[in-house]
Structure 1
Amino acid sequence: MLEKIKFPSFVVILIFLLIFTLGVCVSVGTLHIPLVETFTILLEQIFQLNPTSDATYSGVIWQIRLPRVLMGLVIGAGLALCGVVMQAIVQNPLADPYLLGISSGAYLGATIFIILGGSLIGIISNMGLTLVAFFGALFAAIVVLFLASYKSKMTTTKLILSGTIINAACTACANFIIAMSGTDNTIARITYWTMGSLASSKWDSLLLPLCSVLIIVIFFLTQYRPLNAMLQGDETAITLGINILFYRKLYLVIVALLTGILVSISGIIGFVGLIIPHISRAIVGANHKRLIPVSILLGAIFLMVVDAIARTIIDNVELPIGIFTALVGAPFFAYIMIKKNYNFSK
């Protein structure tokens, strides 16, 4: 809990840390750029000032690194938000954005596209992988919601079980396709995609996730009261006058759409939507009025840092982001398990 620093001051500190982290992550790489030079170039580009910086530095920052770092910021914030909402919806500390089988649906879509080839989509082959992965994620989410509400009201148990079923089915179908038709090249490409990467980030691919995350962040910042009630359990929420079924379906649809967009662009980046909400909850408590903004900021900072490590830790080699998020996530959950005074709902 925040004891010595007031919450608004803490948020301001996180915002400044976010800006500083963005500058550092843009500076590091094969070509190291001084931090002062980086911020000078960013200010010149943003405010259209007369350029005084090195043209090579400016090109590397503005055309290559900044779109990627901003993509990490957006996806980290989006996954952290989705994780917070999912944990409240199902009242489960192990819930994450992929609980509904969304990642396995995207995995199936990506597998179909990579192995069967972009020729199936012809005109949109440049965006084919992203598009097919998104539709795979969306299909999985729709089927899960259908199963969870079929012939009876939707419950958290049915949601989790339905997600498990669809996850197993989509994964099995994808693995079957790989076993029957995969080559060394396609299998390597699929494996790399499933571990997550921001390498393909460009300015034109940033608009959709940025707008989606921004709109949904604004929406959920106004939803802290229903989320607080849902976290306490269905009976408590109903007693407080919350229409639990309506809000659960609404939030699930929104989270499914956002997660589908993020996964289709970056691949499957695990643990962000799982560990960031817990870290934030340990700092500011379970009240979503505080938890949501802190999770968004920490998620953005975390993924920018992880991506910078993934592309710089080995010279001229870029490692998948999922490797590092898992390396951080596994010991963190070991810590959570043995910590006595951590309470998920308080």
Structure 2
Amino acid sequence: MIILILSAAVVCSVILAVSIGQVSIPFMESYRILVYQLTGIPIGDIGELASGSQVDIIWHIRLPRVLLAMIAGSGLALCGTVMQASVQNPLADPYILGISSGASLGATFSIMIGFGAAGIIGGMGIAFWAFIGALGAAALVLVLASIGGKTSSVKLVLAGTVINALCSAFSNFIVYFAKDAEGIRSVTFWTMGSLASAKWDKLPLIAIVMLIAVLFLLFQSRIMNTMLMGDETAVTLGVNLHFYRRLYMIISSMITGVIVATCGIIGFVGLIVPHLVRSVVGSDHKRLLPVAVLASAIFLIWTDVLARTVIPNGELPIGIVTALFGAPMFMYMLMKKSYGFGGK
């Protein structure tokens, strides 16, 4: 029942969110435009709208952005939930493998060195280099954590911390010696997260990656439930922890890398939403995963609405808004001890 309610809430949120912005459009007008654009079926007098500025605002600007927020939010919560189970750590999030710092290094390199603007390699753009950086950091973490024996949750967390610090140091090094003020501003804005670059041609890749990952991970709930019981119990029950931990890390790295390359770094979503959902539906991943995916989609849709409307004729980086909401929520959960991680 809760999944059906949240699914309906996602659809309503999408329709409402495209109505809200610097140019206010009535809800029914947005609904008519969306139905006409998606199905070709006119509702009322659609003739004037079909060539009007409202159609351009909703169909070409707001709807791709709202859909990107929905997909990115779902992906971050999915990865956060999987990471928390894989490393058995309530503080785990999608960026625990140094993915955010690796992506930042790739984007900083692209922006400041100029590869994002010229040449065959540069034609691939900032998103390409951010994705390469994210995957490179994740690969280094997995290699570092596997040295000297099987990969453990503690070694993964420690390796992620090391790679995160290393990539951040290189990014700061590049920025420190750069003399491009506009480039520094671009790097800063990118690292705070933004959905402003949302376009229809960017949605298929991230949507396909997310769909495949969700369909696969929804059938992995038993393995993740076993992981929460601890390594010894999981091994006793016949779960190959070394294989599944690496598999989940690779899948999560791919999803997070695509999201970060498209939207920049959006913090707290993958950390907070799984805990909030866990406090409501419990730690069983069969219910936790789909509810977290839907709840996070709604959360990021509305935080993006706030980010693009709170400042007249401007917008806040969405990472600032999610942090302003996420940090107090997490402090409240800690005080109430309602995070319920692994039944603890």
> What's the TM-score, normalizing by structure 1?
0.95
Question: How far did 1:49 drift?
Answer: 2.2
Distance 1:77 1:40, change over 3 A: same
Structure 2 partner of 1:264 = 261
Partner SS state of residue 118, structure 1:
coil
Distance 1:57 1:120, change over 3 A: closer
Structure 2 partner of 1:330 = 327
- The answer to whether the Cα contact below 8 Å between 2:275 and 2:339 also exists between their aligned partners in 1 is no
1:73 aligns with 2:65: no
Q: 2:80 aligns with which of 76, 79, 83?
A: 83
- The answer to whether the Cα contact below 8 Å between 1:105 and 1:140 also exists between their aligned partners in 2 is yes
- The answer to whether the Cα contact below 8 Å between 1:40 and 1:53 also exists between their aligned partners in 2 is no
Q: 2:17 aligns with which of 13, 17, 25?
A: 25
Question: How far did 1:232 drift?
Answer: 1.4
1:44 aligns with 2:41: no
Distance of 1:202 and 1:78 partners within structure 2? 18
1:153 aligns with 2:150: yes
Distance of 1:44 and 1:297 partners within structure 2? 26
Distance of 1:106 and 1:35 partners within structure 2? 38
Structure 2 partner of 1:4 = none
Distance of 1:81 and 1:263 partners within structure 2? 14
Distance of 1:80 and 1:119 partners within structure 2? 29
- The answer to whether the Cα contact below 8 Å between 1:41 and 1:53 also exists between their aligned partners in 2 is no
1:184 aligns with 2:176: no
Distance of 2:118 and 2:222 partners within structure 1? 44
Q: 1:99 aligns with which of 79, 91, 96?
A: 96
Amino acid at match of 1:320: P
Gaps of 5+ in 1: 1-8
Deviations 1:232-275 (A, max 9, x none): 11111112211111100111111011111110110000000000
Distance 1:126 1:33, change over 3 A: farther
1:194 aligns with 2:186: no
Question: How far did 1:163 drift?
Answer: 0.3
Deviates more, 1:251-260 or 1:50-59: 50-59
- The answer to whether the Cα contact below 8 Å between 2:94 and 2:252 also exists between their aligned partners in 1 is yes
Distance of 2:152 and 2:169 partners within structure 1? 26
Distance of 1:303 and 1:40 partners within structure 2? 24
Distance of 1:330 and 1:226 partners within structure 2? 30
Distance of 1:340 and 1:15 partners within structure 2? 28
Structure 2 partner of 1:164 = 161
Distance of 2:190 and 2:327 partners within structure 1? 21
Structure 2 partner of 1:5 = none
Partner SS state of residue 267, structure 2:
coil
Q: 1:205 aligns with which of 193, 202, 206?
A: 202
Number of matched pairs:
338
Distance of 1:124 and 1:44 partners within structure 2? 40
- The answer to whether the Cα contact below 8 Å between 2:131 and 2:260 also exists between their aligned partners in 1 is yes
Task: Give percent identity, aligned residues only.
Answer: 52
Deviates more, 1:177-186 or 1:107-116: 177-186
Deviates more, 1:251-260 or 1:126-135: 126-135
- The answer to whether the Cα contact below 8 Å between 2:273 and 2:295 also exists between their aligned partners in 1 is yes
Deviates more, 1:235-244 or 1:83-92: 235-244
Question: How far did 1:183 drift?
Answer: 2.5
Deviations 1:280-329 (A, max 9, x none): 10110000000000000011111110111000011101110011110111
- The answer to whether the Cα contact below 8 Å between 1:37 and 1:53 also exists between their aligned partners in 2 is no
Question: How far did 1:125 drift?
Answer: 4.2
Structure 1 partner of 2:136 = 139
> What's the TM-score, normalizing by structure 2?
0.96
Distance of 2:121 and 2:53 partners within structure 1? 32
Deviations 1:149-176 (A, max 9, x none): 0121100110001000000000000100
Amino acid at match of 1:333: F
Question: How far did 1:141 drift?
Answer: 0.4
Amino acid at match of 2:24: H
- The answer to whether the Cα contact below 8 Å between 2:131 and 2:261 also exists between their aligned partners in 1 is yes
Amino acid at match of 2:185: A
Deviations 1:80-117 (A, max 9, x none): 00000000001111000000000000000010000011
Distance 1:179 1:313, change over 3 A: same
Amino acid at match of 1:209: I
Structure 1 partner of 2:239 = 242
Question: How far did 1:53 drift?
Answer: 5.5
Distance 1:152 1:89, change over 3 A: same
Amino acid at match of 2:284: N
Write out aligned runs for 1:101-116 (5 A).
Answer: 101-116=98-113
- The answer to whether the Cα contact below 8 Å between 2:275 and 2:340 also exists between their aligned partners in 1 is no
Distance 1:287 1:248, change over 3 A: same
Gaps of 5+ in 2: none
Distance of 1:193 and 1:215 partners within structure 2? 27
Q: What is the RMSD computed on CA atoms of the aligned residues?
A: 1.3
